[in-house]
Structure 1
Amino acid sequence: MPLHARMAGVEPGTNNRMACRISELVIDSRDPERLAAFWCDVLGYVVLGRVEGSVEIGPEDEGFGGLQPTIVFSPSDRPKAGILPLHIDVSPTDRDQDAELERLLAIGAKPADVGQTGEESWHVLADPEGNEFCLLRRRLTD
């Protein structure tokens, strides 16, 4: 058993596991308003609030604490350096991957090259500030 679990009083073989869920993603941004608008279009989210230059978006009916995490675009002047170690994967909910790719390109996504072979079943794109994300195939079936 890991030391941190023993120190927290977790007994081996018991069901008193600690768990968390992702409640929000915070993304540094040179232009929080622009990225918020882009990602609202991508995800069908709405702006939930603005505080000190940051813009929070999320599902209209849920907001913070809902089933899906909210996204906060926080102002930052730090330059993006290389490929990010974390990225968002999205999948279409009401159309096929090709139609969704066309839609995302039309609202400002750009194709991104992170060393893929061309054999992948997903598309690597970048948002207006160059943050990579992947468009997967549709996962929901009718």
Structure 2
Amino acid sequence: MASRISELVIPSLDPRRLAAFWCEVLDFTVLELRMHFDVNATDRDQDAELERLLKVGARRVDIGQTGEESWHCLADPEGNEFCLLRTRLS
């Protein structure tokens, strides 16, 4: 059985807005925790998930990528960086 991260803390100026963003991205419900993730699509390919994340408020960030990476570097609405990985989880 694989382990899964259940909670991590990230700084936030507007925790409710950020929680709403991440709940939409991950289809979660709000708990009393703030989280940061590397995310994997579970029901679509990486390109479709990237498009969905950008629509709900993520934005691309440049952290010195070469363009050869298999992941996309993004930021949530408050600028917290996260990566969209290629591998789809089921």
- Alignment TM-score, normalising by the size of structure 2: 0.86
Give unmatched runs, 5+ long, in structure 1. 1-20, 49-55, 57-71, 74-86
**Which of 1 and 2 has higher RCO (CA within 8 Å, sep 6+)?**
2
Give the Cα separation in 2 of the matches to 1:22 and 1:103.
Answer: 23
The question of 1:38 aligning with 2:38 is answered no
Give the Cα separation in 1 of the matches to 2:49 and 2:5.
Answer: 25
Q: What is the match of residue 54 of structure 2?
A: 105
Judging by fraction of residues, say which structure has more strand.
1
Give the 3 Å change call, closer, same or farther, for CA 23–44 of structure 1 in structure 2: closer
Deviations 1:13-57 (A, max 9, x none): xxxxxxxx8552122210000000000011110013xxxxxxx2x
**Paired residue type of 2:48:** A
Judging by fraction of residues, say which structure has more helix.
2
Name which of 64, 70, 76 aligns with 1:115: 64
Which protein has the larger Cα radius of gyration, Structure 1 or Structure 2? Answer: 1
Secondary structure of the structure 1 residue equivalent to 2:11: strand
Give unmatched runs, 5+ long, in structure 2. none
**Paired residue type of 2:55:** A
Identity between Structure 1 and Structure 2 (%): 76
